[in-house]
Structure 1
Amino acid sequence: MKKIFKQFIAVIAVFMITTFLFGACGKTETPVRSENSNESSSGSHKQAENQKEPSKEDTNKTTNSSKKEETSVPIEIIDTVYTNKLVDENDGTVLVEASIIIPKLKNPKNQPEIEKINKYYKNEVETFFEEVKGEGFAAAAENYEDAKKNGYDFNTHMFDRKFHIHYNSNNLLSVLNVQYAYTGGAHPNTFWSAETFDIRSGKKMALTDIFSIPKEEVLAHIYEAVFKQIEQNQQKKENVYNDDYKTAVKEYYEDTDFILTEKGINVFYQLYTLAPYAAGFPEFLLPYDSVKDILDVDISNAHVYNADQDLRYAARELIGCNYIAFSEMFYLNTLPADMPEGGLVDGNTIYPVKDKRFTTFAELEGYVRNTYGKEEADALLSGKTWGGPQYMDKDGKLHVDISKSGGVGYYKKWDTYMFELSDITEDSAKLTVYLKEEDMGTNTLKDTSLSMKMIKEDGLWLLDKMVY
């Protein structure tokens, strides 16, 4: 993880906070070519260890009698989300926002092999936040002090990691982790890491577990395939590679940088190693047919766990967008207003919005309509609940009516939560979020859940209602 974090710091980001928090609402994550904020304490991400897992009855699982059938049935996975904010101790400015999404394998029979995999990812969460709170916070704090000293705007540093399932069959699970760092510079810094597990043993597999030949021979086979595909790409003028790619192919390949896919073994390189940044991550596919004689795992009758991937990615973004909408824009609070120092003037409650995420009504409207279905979006924008619109356009600028704000008590904890999808059709799905809620009577946290309905309108996945 320390190596990964230093890779983050090495390249500075160009994306603004608006892109990270708001640009994705109503959109899905971009799949890899081979096929979410709430303030919390330093230990808040540990809550999911005690988070109640959905019951077996909730999942409506189908039991298969045949062992052969069982090997091809994907293991069920729940997205588990951890977030954290780190602030300046003097003025409360948010210096760092961090988010990590990991897979949690359902384990109704308490199998130690599956628990071993879940424990691996719990450790990944711990390491992720340790690095963010250490080097990440130190770098952000230094940047913030420099910004104040030299009079330029400081942008909150962002660290984000999401997983993508590329293979889930034959007792094998292959996961790609896409990690980002946004720290205010010229490029978004992105890093890939991967794991492939044997579900029967809980073992994280190396290349030598996938192939039946020694590691040196495996690497030789990979290098040969990579060189061949680079030459083919150059002939087709499809990709541009660095002049030193012939030495870089061997120098920069890490033997953990591979994933299983439906068509073959996909090996990848990090940004810049073989090609310019604009070329993206260099990827090379070894079709199973080309390596079947040296494979040491069963890839027959493969079923890739991506039938609902787009829906899963949309759900991730919509949950985060819904949280921001109800907590910062409509229900708990409104966007900050640029008010006179002396307070209200002549009883006026309408003032310009002071939030660089939204400067015009059109920007706010686009955010809302990319998060909610038409009926709910119309209701929010017209202010149906509050007896009039909370936001309006005045002279081309976004304004807010500060008299129309919920400002009520709210006790659900969004720093750690899990979600799963069910009742999936072509244009709808049930989205269930599992999280903690503070019991004010006992001063303890209890398990609770929220049910959301996702709908598809004009090809876009949205939420039918604001849920909180």
Structure 2
Amino acid sequence: MEFPVKTNTFRTITPRINFYYPMVYCMNNLLLQRKINSQIYNFTKKFISDLNYEDIPTYIMGSYEIKNNQRGVLSFNLSGLGDFKGAHPINSIKSLNFDVDTGKVYEFKDLFKKDSDYINIISKIGKRELKKQKTVLYKDGYKGVKPDQDYFIADKNLMIYFQQYEIGPRQSGFPYFSVPVYEIEDIIDKDSILGKMIPFL
């Protein structure tokens, strides 16, 4: 049994930035701890930079939410807002998904067997679920998932989401759908962080 990794809250604050993000601590392997925290810091720094509107003073606020911290998997979201006093501020959500035993960050494509048709399989599930949820989308807005798809892990579910305006209008917020791991067990790379979520593995 792997226990949750300990996390603490850090804050970047300047006259125009107020942003909270997590760091891990009290790990047995300090080099691994440093590796994970360095990736979190650099990811957060880029996320803040992407919220900054070009050539216009932008006030940036943000926080994080841990979605999974079990079985050696740490998955969390950064949520940020860039307000440049325009009609619609920039809103964004991005996720980091770690194997805390190795410090590896898993992209979406890393979750599946190399020879699997994961794009087509997950895309069909998404079409079904978004329709079931009656999510308002642009005409032909949803074209399926991509190898670098935004996602996070929540217990035994793969949560897939899209940025605001990516596939639907503002009223749709951040469209998302959930895929239980048991539904796609056959295409999951068992050595990936999603493989760790398969019950009784």
Paired residue for 1:112, among 11, 15, 31?
A: 31
Verify: 1:82 aligned to 2:12, yes or no.
yes
1:175 alignment counterpart: 76
1:272 aligns with 2:165: yes
Residue in 1 aligned with 2:153? 260
Shift of residue 103 of structure 1?
A: 1.0
Q: Which amino acid aligns with 1:245?
A: G
SS in 1 for 2:92: strand
Partner of 1:239: 135
SS in structure 2 at match of 1:290? helix
Aligned match of 2:126 in 226, 239, 244?
Answer: 226
Q: CA deviation at 1:137?
A: 7.7
- Determine the C-alpha separation between the residues in 2 that align with 1:287 and 1:259: 12
Provide the secondary structure at the position in 1 that maps to 2:61. Answer: strand
- Cα pair 1:180 1:191 within 8 Å, conserved: yes
Aligned residue in 1 for 2:196: 298
Counterparts in 2 of 1:138 and 1:274: CA distance versus 1, 3 Å: closer
Q: Answer yes or no: is 1:188 the counterpart of 2:89.
A: yes
Cα distance change of structure 1 residues 290 and 119 upon mapping to structure 2, 3 Å threshold: same
Tell me which amino acid in the other structure corresponds to 2:124.
E
Deviation at 1:269, TM superposition (A): 0.7
Secondary structure in 1 aligned to 2:117? helix
Deviation at 1:111, TM superposition (A): 2.9
Name the CA distance, whole Å, in 2 between partners of 1:225 and 1:136: 35
Structure 2 counterparts to residues 14-163 of structure 1, below 5 A: 68=1, 71=2, 73-85=3-15, 97-127=16-46, 136=53, 138-140=55-57, 157-163=58-64
The aligned runs of 1:376-391 (5 Å cut-off) are none
Contact residue 136 and residue 172 of structure 2 kept, 8 A: yes
Gapped regions of structure 2 (runs ≥ 5): none
Write the deviation string for residues 336-376 of structure 1: whole angstroms up to 9, x where unpaired. xxxxxxxxxxxxxxxxxxxxxxxxxxxxxxxxxxxxxxxxx
Describe the shift of the 1:127–1:282 C-alpha distance in structure 2 as closer, same or farther (beyond 3 A). Answer: closer
How many Å apart are 1:254 and its aligned residue?
6.1
| Residues 307-345 of structure 1: CA deviation (Å, up to 9, x unaligned) | xxxxxxxxxxxxxxxxxxxxxxxxxxxxxxxxxxxxxxx
CA contact (8 A) 2:59 2:82 kept: yes
Q: CA deviation at 1:271?
A: 0.9
- Matching residue's letter, 1:298: K
Contact 2:53–2:84 (CA under 8 A) maintained in structure 1: no
Distance 1:121 1:298, change over 3 A: closer
Q: 1:174 to 1:228 in 2, by over 3 A?
A: same
Could you say if the C-alpha distance between residues 136 and 229 of structure 1 is closer, same or farther in structure 2, counting changes exceeding 3 Å? closer
Share of identical aligned residues, percent? 19
Distance in 2 (CA, whole Å) between partners of 1:136 and 1:246 is 27
Alpha-carbon distance in structure 2 between the residues aligned to 1:278 and 1:224? 23
Post-superposition Cα deviations, 1:381-432, rounded to whole Å, max 9, x if no partner, equal xxxxxxxxxxxxxxxxxxxxxxxxxxxxxxxxxxxxxxxxxxxxxxxxxxxx
CA distance in 2, matches of 1:191, 1:138: 19
CA distance in 2, matches of 1:108, 1:117: 11
- Matched ranges for 1:289-328 at <5 A: 289-295=182-188, 296=190, 297-300=195-198
| TM value normalised by structure 2 | 0.84
- Secondary structure (helix, strand or coil) at the match of 1:80 reads strand
Pairwise CA distance, 1:170? 0.7
Structure 1 or 2: more strand by fraction? 2
Contact 2:68/2:153 (8 A) holds in 1 = yes
Structure 1 portions without partners, runs of 5+: 1-67, 86-96, 141-156, 303-468
Q: In structure 2, the residue corresponding to 1:245 is in which secondary structure?
A: coil
- Distance in 2 between residues matched to 1:229 and 1:261, nearest whole Å: 17
Contact 1:195 1:256 in 2 (8 A): no
Letter in 1 for 2:140: D
Conserved in 1, the CA contact under 8 Å of 2:181 and 2:198?
no
1:201-237 Cα distance to aligned partner (Å, 9 max, x none) = 10001234322244x722222211111123323xxxx
Residue equivalent to 1:166: 67
The residue type equivalent to 2:138 in the other structure is: N
> Greater Rg, structure 1 or structure 2?
1
User: Among residues 210, 217, 241, which one is paired with 2:111 in the alignment?
Assistant: 210
Cα 1:289/1:204, change in 2 over 3 Å: same
